Structure 1
Amino acid sequence: MTEIIPGLQGELPANSRKGIPFVGGNKKVAACAKHYVGDGGTTRGINENNTVINRHGLLSIHMPGYYDSIIKGVATIMVSYSSWNGVKMHANRDLVTGFLKNTLHFRGFVISDWEGNDRITSPPHANYSYSIQAGVNAGIDMVMIPYNYTEFIDGLTSLVKNGIIPMSRIDDAVKRILRVKFVMGLFEEPLADRSLVDQLGSKEHRELAREAVRRSLVLLKNGESADVPLLPLPKKASKILVAGSHADNLGYQCGGWTIEWQGLSGNNLTEGTTILSAIKNTVDPQTKVVYKENPDADFMKSNDFSYAIVVVGEHPYAETFGDSLNLTIPDPGPSAITNVCGSVKCVVIVISGRPVVIQPYVPLMDALVAAWLPGTEGQGVADVLFGDYGFTGKLSRTWFKTVDQLPMNVGDAHYDPLFPFGYGLTTTPANSN
């Protein structure tokens, strides 16, 4: 993931010193590495929870991305809401000042998360003066205050005047913030460069996003054996069924943290192509495409479909709203899979931000695709389904059988996944056969 930093900030000059932030002109932006550190290892995966691991584990598993980010000249680093062995990261001077700034020589600025200082206490904001003291003295340079910023300014000023926060800490924060602002050229060009606005959502950008969709799809099952694959699907058929809650829902394809924080359902979120539209765009003009979100058994019996495509998955979420201890596909996903795949040859496409429970349904499916969150370019899914391109993606995460197995990682003594880390079947583009 750290390879995105040169894309955002520009390539570092050859003579750059380690840890010095770099932004290569007003066509580039400052990057932020987050959330420092251990955010991905919290107990039971719960947002803002406690990461229980020894120092060696923290540095070897959770820290490498930050080493690499600093080497690439990242301008800012954001602290995590989570804790490490019971100590809130926003108050962890040892890791923020001691390790990040002094050991790794990070010279950009450290920023809090949204109301991150408030969350140092439980309940949040219970002792705001202490929270300001703990966060700023830990090494946080810029504090994200979405609402009552005057309360923070008054509290910080009082703590400095009374010597509780030393002026040297303020000087360090100001120096780091100014360094990034100078590097970005904000004093010469304080306003955003609007010359690139017309490129947003351009054909070139959408083609790149479509390619990303094609390359990220992971084919988990393709027929009962390699000798009798279902995919790629034939474009020419008499009548095909497209079913499922996610087949014609751009908001579900995009997920959370898009235009809306928690995402939206429906096709009014932004411009783009749903998977249903993409299928209609791709099949032969003579092929009849029937769409029904949740067909029942009678509907399936009364129709003669050549094959079916069932698109199901998670509803959009972000942060704590995505916490789940069951990781099941919400209704009517399971019934759509059962009714359709029990009656006709089917490929199931799962739209999700993570592995979900699918083991009970796999025997019913003829093919299974993990499409993750393909965003606005649903056409990328159809490109691969119908063989214009081959499947090439591999799992970046172990896919579990049951949630009782979690956490589960490669190397565990009883590693018994549904699909292992790195798994992914491949297909050959139909036009090259």
Structure 2
Amino acid sequence: MAAILSLTLLPGSASADAPSPRDPSAPIDKRVAALVADLTLEEKAGQMTQAEKGSITDPADITTYGLGSILSGGGGAPDPNTPEAWADMIDGYQARALETRQKIPMIYGADAVHGHNNVSGATIMPHNLGLGASRSPELAKRAAEVTAIETRATGVPWTFAPCLCVARDDRWGRTYESFGEDPELVSSMVDVVDGLQGTDLTSNTTVLATAKHFVGDGGTTYGSSTTEDYKIDQGITELTREQLRDLHIAPFETAVDRNVGSVMPSYSSVDHPDDDTGPVKMHANDELINGVLKQELGFQGFVISDWKAIDQIPGDYASDVRTSINAGVDMVMVPYDYKTFISTLISEVNAGRIPMERIDDAVTRILTAKEKLGLFDKPYADRTHIGTIGSAEHRAVAREAAAASQVLLKNDGDALPLASQGKLYVAGSNADDLGNQMGGWSISWQGSSGDTTEGTTILEGIREVAPDLEVTHSKDASAPTDGHDTGLVVVGETPYAEGKGDVGVGGHDMKLSAADSAAVSKVCGEIETCVVVTVSGRPLEITSQLDQMDALVAAWLPGSEGAGVADTLFGDVGYSGKLPVSWPRSVDDEPINVGDPDYDPLFPYGAGLTTD
């Protein structure tokens, strides 16, 4: 634990010797009310501020400005990137927070979106699209429980997950963060909130969950940006209020019913074509945040902005601050210039442009979450379960989830399951690439190819599941195919995350690469039985080569445990997954969703063959 340094008073704060008004024996609401009443405006502004760890060049600022929260952005890890180093880092920040006048603990947040995915050696679960394919809320909940244990053990009590977006256009680079295209499916998977939060947030096995991105980020119109024709991420959702409610608000209503602790607005805008208000950025949307989320749905947690998102609101920075706070944002992920944010917020309140009642409501919500997490009584990392991070038991859950997420789309001549003896020819870009099968938000923000952490590739899983099988591996299918009765080609995408994953950006086009396409043609053309597995964050355009394939499996992004894919290939686990999104014949068919007029996908929503 870091040593507690000399006390630094907040600007305008009362004496450091003043007794705390917090009575640990009082109910939480009474404790919080007393504390809020005692805080200065400067202290309240600090509580509403979240800074990225890399922006804090002087740790004394945590005390001086009373920062209420710190986060790790994607890839924001300590050096070395170990669980112990995470806990040490966060404890050091916490020690500074506890030097403030009222010793209010800070709350640390991270994007643990499919496991504690920033931490090297952590268990990486399948991304949400795969969990949606499993149609198993119970399994998704267990995966979330593992994520919560591994996350809390490093001192992180708050995750920016789950994403409850409803993916209505697979050209969107965040499609894999969605459970699917149907709001009923997404709502059914909100059990992950229960898995993360449990029944007691003070437990060392639970974390505060964040339902994101409120609301409509999965339904933006392709080409809705005024500057980029392809723009879909952070674009405009053009729906009537009734359509928005039915398609996109429904999962958040379920999450609020499950007492989700925080909600994050979307970067995107909402434009109702049935009126003339025009597009409104979600971070400025009083109607949807204050009106629908907080008042109508009765959300009692706090609203955390997305990364630097208030800066996208039209106007100068002062108007960005007052508009977002007045719209119902409680804490702002600044993430860098926290000094300017705090001073601007204070100025806007003093000028009467932000009511003090709004500030008190925001701080009450934030401090209530900290009380529920038990941070006032146990502010430092509880390392009891730190040794379970990446454990065999946790990886077994990830492997089970990977197997359940596999969708068998074609199986002519019972090509699957594969024989566990004989000779198997394995090709394709994603057969032996751990980074590719984990996708984005894995160790780094965008993810990257290669052995970026600990895990089992699909090829390694095959060798584990079928040790007596003679395997020839040739990534580009250049090795001779003679003597092999069966070929397996594992193709797909390289990692990406928001923005950079949109079709039309960075070479992404929902099509097989030339090398993968050539590998499919060669292996399927020369070997009697040919199985193709796609490893991707969305459906891929494979129509022209489908006839060459005897079997086709959608593996999605299965995470760190490639043996789960092998379990189904060899029949140790039967195929049971169902498509969470419609599979288009061509990328030009997007957006395509079940219920559309003239609906004609290559494989419909819910498709999936089963095996024993």
Matched, 1:310 2:489: yes
1:16 is matched with which residue? Answer: none
Offset, 1:138: 0.7
Q: 2:221 aligns with which of 20, 24, 43?
A: 43
* Partner amino acid, structure 1, of 2:340: E
1:230 is matched with which residue? Answer: 415
CA distance in 1, matches of 2:467, 2:345: 67
CA distance in 2, matches of 1:61, 1:320: 22
1:29-178 equivalences in 2 (<5 Å): 29-44=207-222, 46-85=232-271, 86-121=279-314, 127-178=316-367
CA distance in 2, matches of 1:192, 1:9: 17
The answer to which of 182-191 and 325-334 deviates more is: 325-334
- TM-score of the superposition, structure 2-length normalised? 0.65
CA distance in 1, matches of 2:403, 2:243: 35
Instruction: Give the SS at the match of 1:221.
Output: strand
CA distance in 2, matches of 1:145, 1:189: 26
Instruction: Give the SS at the match of 1:219.
Output: strand
1:24-423 equivalences in 2 (<5 Å): 25-44=203-222, 46-85=232-271, 86-121=279-314, 127-223=316-412, 228-237=413-422, 239-267=423-451, 269-285=452-468, 287-296=469-478, 299-300=479-480, 303-325=482-504, 326-344=509-527, 345-423=529-607
In structure 2, runs of 5+ residues without a counterpart are 1-188, 223-230, 272-278
Offset, 1:133: 1.4
Aligned partners of 2:202 and 2:374 also within 8 Å: no
Matched, 1:9 2:202: no
Aligned length, in residue pairs: 404
Aligned partners of 1:9 and 1:24 also within 8 Å: no
CA distance in 1, matches of 2:408, 2:577: 7
Per-residue CA distance 1:78-122 (angstroms, 9 max, x = gap) = 01000001110000011111111111111110010000111113x
Per-residue CA distance 1:54-84 (angstroms, 9 max, x = gap) = 0001111101111111111111000100000
Aligned partners of 2:270 and 2:280 also within 8 Å: yes
**1 or 2 for the larger relative contact order (CA 8 Å, sep ≥6)?**
2
CA distance in 2, matches of 1:60, 1:289: 50
Offset, 1:276: 0.9
- TM-score of the superposition, structure 1-length normalised? 0.91
CA distance in 1, matches of 2:190, 2:388: 24
Mark the CA change 1:194 to 1:52 in structure 2 (over 3 Å): closer, same or farther.
Answer: same
Aligned partners of 1:242 and 1:292 also within 8 Å: yes
CA distance in 1, matches of 2:565, 2:265: 36
Aligned partners of 1:231 and 1:386 also within 8 Å: yes
Offset, 1:300: 4.1
Offset, 1:356: 1.2
CA distance in 1, matches of 2:563, 2:533: 14
CA distance in 1, matches of 2:562, 2:553: 14
Aligned partners of 1:242 and 1:310 also within 8 Å: yes
In structure 1, runs of 5+ residues without a counterpart are 12-21, 429-433
Aligned partners of 2:421 and 2:470 also within 8 Å: no
Offset, 1:321: 0.9
* Partner amino acid, structure 1, of 2:580: S
Instruction: Give the SS at the match of 2:499.
Output: helix
Offset, 1:186: 1.0
Offset, 1:24: 5.1
CA distance in 1, matches of 2:382, 2:530: 49
CA distance in 2, matches of 1:46, 1:24: 39
Instruction: Give the SS at the match of 1:57.
Output: helix
CA distance in 1, matches of 2:514, 2:582: 24
Offset, 1:425: 0.6
Instruction: Give the SS at the match of 1:220.
Output: strand
2:13 is matched with which residue? Answer: none
* Partner amino acid, structure 2, of 1:386: F
- Identity, in percent, stands at 50
Per-residue CA distance 1:155-209 (angstroms, 9 max, x = gap) = 1111111111111111110111111111111111112221111111111111111
Offset, 1:284: 4.7
Offset, 1:288: 2.2
CA distance in 1, matches of 2:455, 2:201: 31
Instruction: Give the SS at the match of 2:514.
Output: coil
* Partner amino acid, structure 1, of 2:575: F
Aligned partners of 1:10 and 1:24 also within 8 Å: no
CA distance in 1, matches of 2:204, 2:361: 26
1:14 is matched with which residue? Answer: none
Instruction: Give the SS at the match of 2:448.
Output: coil
